Amino acid sequence: MLKLAARVGRAKPSAIMVVAEKAKALKAAGRDVINFSIGVPNFLPGPHVYDAVRNALDSDSGQYGSNRGRDDLLDAFLAHMAAIGMDGYTRANCAVAVGAKHILYNLFEAMLDEGDTIAFATPYWTSYLDIAEIVGAKTLLLPCPPEQDYKLTPEQLDAALAQKPRVFLFNNPSNPTGMVYGRDEIAALAKVLVKHPETWVITDDIYNRMVFDGLGYHNFVNAEPSLRDRVVFVDSLSKTYGMPGWRVGLMAGPEVVAKAVVTLNSNHITNIPEVVTAAAVAALSGPQDVPTAKCSEFQGKRDQVIEALQAIPGIVCPRPQGAFYVFPDISVAFGKRHGETLIGNDVDFCAALLEAKAVACVPGSAFGEPRALRISYTCPTAQLAEGLKRIQAFFAELA
Ligand code: PMP
């Protein structure tokens, strides 16, 4: 039997996709499934994006593109950077790849040798752990339970960085918790980062345009400009612009890092497709009414979800201020029964909820927090209301 490389064996299938597949199978069997599992934006970009693609097809040269990303796309990204207070970057600081996931993969490959350590908070986005395993990096997990609003404290960060991990990976707003770090919190963490110059910092902030309650988005570089030598900002068009299938991710950081990503690109992908580049330029530099409208719609849906969850005795749920996820602590249900089914943990809970009420959520253990589950709330309002009603009924039936 021919063997595959060990790194493939280390990659686990995504827990989110496992739930989504189960939900799909139930739907095919005729059940009225409400799917809160996948983080899909559930809307399309504005018509100007499609117009740009049609024009690009008409004037296509059929040639390879740039390994770094086309100049007009880099410039559109730089304009966004300036708008969030991260100015002074040039094209040489940037690179484009096939989604933020691919940017992260490139950054892990660029920064981590086998056996090096990457530190990040739990709950974490699942792929952090999986990509670390593929590149053979060790992970240093920093537990941020609901009692501390799922947020990393400066003291925790200080203790973690004292262990000199090669990379510290930060995610704001957070998937899966939806929590957002305010200006003062970012400033306090940035101060700690300054104290530890031996660690690269990646800020995976792809939901930076989806921040609620007027809180605003803040980066470590805004607080401590000297950190520009070490901080890499990661962005994506997937969620904000309703373009997950177009696969556009971007980064801005030190030139040496951008150059490494360009080198990896030149061996992995050469370039993202030219028609995709045209769509990305149009999305970033055209009218912003779709992302703006969606941000306020999601803020309203956040309120709807929180209100429904707060009506359930025993649920603890820090109030998210961004992205489109809510991450309630449902451990009050553990040890109880739904009918004959014993709910021992989050996985049992999600399986029983799906079976009994046809509502799909992702168990928190997929994100390193087994007391919680993730609700992705991008579906239409009526469906959202129905799903929340079913979750309330499920809890009421626990004994
Ligand atoms: N980072 C986070 C925090 C995410 O939630 C996601 C998508 N679920 C990604 C990165 C990857 O995004 P993309 O679609 O651009 O690969």
pLDDT tens digits, 135-189:
999 999 999 999 999 999 999 999 999 999 999 999 999 999 999 999 999 999 9
Q: What pLDDT shows up at residue 136?
A: 94
Helices (H) and strands (E) in the chain, counts: 14, 14
Q: Are strands 94-97 and 249-252 parallel, antiparallel or unpaired?
A: antiparallel
Q: What pLDDT shows up at residue 333?
A: 98
ipTM: 0.99
Helix or strand or coil: residue 347? helix
Distance CA 263, CA 245 (A): 24
Q: Residue 335 — very low, low, confident or very high, per pLDDT cuts 50/70/90?
A: very high
Q: What is the mean pLDDT of the chain?
A: 96
| Entry pTM | 0.96
Q: Which residues contact 334 (CB under 8 A, 6 or more apart)?
A: 343, 344, 345, 349
Ramachandran class of 68: left when φ > 0, alpha when ψ lies in -120 to 50, beta otherwise: alpha
The structure tokens listed for 287 are 């009218």
Q: What pLDDT shows up at residue 36?
A: 95
Which atom number of ligand 1 is nearest to the Cα of residue 207?
Answer: 3
Q: Residue 328 — very low, low, confident or very high, per pLDDT cuts 50/70/90?
A: very high
> Per-residue b/e over 153-183, b at no fewer than 16 CB within 10 Å?
bbebbeebbeeebbbbbbbbbbbbbbbbbee
Which of 206, 233, 246, 251 is the pocket-test mutation for ligand 1 (most atoms within 8 Å of CB)?
206
- Closest by CA to 107, choosing from 73, 82, 134, is 134
Please give the domain boundaries of the chain with CATH numbers for all domains. Answer: 6-44+290-396 (3.90.1150.10), 47-285 (3.40.640.10)
Query: Who lines ligand 1 at CB under 6 A?
Result: 39, 99-101, 125, 171, 175, 204, 206, 236, 238, 244, 249
Å from CA of 331 to ligand 1 middle: 27
Q: Which of 5-9, 83-87, 371-375 has the lowest mean pLDDT?
A: 5-9
Q: Which residues contact 131 (CB under 8 A, 6 or more apart)?
A: 101, 104, 105, 108
Q: What pLDDT shows up at residue 6?
A: 87
Å from CA of 86 to ligand 1 middle: 21
**Phi, psi (degrees; rounded to nearest 5) at 179:** -75, 150
Å from CA of 236 to ligand 1 middle: 7
Helix or strand or coil: residue 93? helix
Q: What pLDDT shows up at residue 11?
A: 72
Å from CA of 101 to ligand 1 middle: 6
pLDDT tens digits, residue range 5-22? 888 877 776 667 778 888
- Closest by CA to 206, choosing from 77, 320, 100, 60, is 100
Whether residue 303 is predicted with pLDDT greater than 80 in this model: the reply is yes
Query: Residue 246, Cβ neighbours under 10 Å: how many?
Result: 23
Q: Which residues contact 170 (CB under 8 A, 6 or more apart)?
A: 120, 121, 152, 189, 201, 202, 203, 204, 205, 220
